[in-house]
Amino acid sequence: AQSVAQPEDQVNVAEGNPLTVKCTYSVSGNPYLFWYVQYPNRGLQFLLKYITGDNLVKGSYGFEAEFNKSQTSFHLKKPSALVSDSALYFCAVRDRASSASKIIFGSGTRLSIRP
């Protein structure tokens, strides 16, 4: 069975500093991996995805994520945080091995950027 873990409920970063939001996954085959962001009272917005190829994936709003197969991780990063990045972030995984597999979302990490 596939699963995804976000080990940190909250991450606090000062504006201008780099940020990392952690995600690890478990699938039987190879994964499709996604990051979404959710602002208060809004739906999830797609940030970026990993399908194949380069392990470093660039997405919206200056975010990027690094796929690490040996560590089964897909951490979200940004070189310089903005206060407007404060939101709830979800990592998601789908098992490539099964065409019937569904996307599984992590429990979310609340990112707080202080001015």
Provide the CB-side half-sphere exposure for 38 (13 A, CA): 15
Count of CB atoms situated within 10 Å of the CB of 98 = 12
CA dist 102 and 98 (Å) reads 9
Whether the Cβ atoms of residue 19 and residue 13 lie closer than 8 Å to each other: yes
Judged by beta carbon, residue 41 or residue 70, the one nearer another protein is: 41
Shortest CB 5 distance to another protein, Å: 11
Judged by beta carbon, residue 67 or residue 90, the one nearer another protein is: 90
Contact residues: another protein, CB under 8 A? 32, 34, 36, 41-46, 49, 51, 90, 92, 94, 96, 99-103, 105-108
Whether the Cβ atoms of residue 18 and residue 66 lie closer than 8 Å to each other: no
Judged by beta carbon, residue 40 or residue 115, the one nearer another protein is: 40
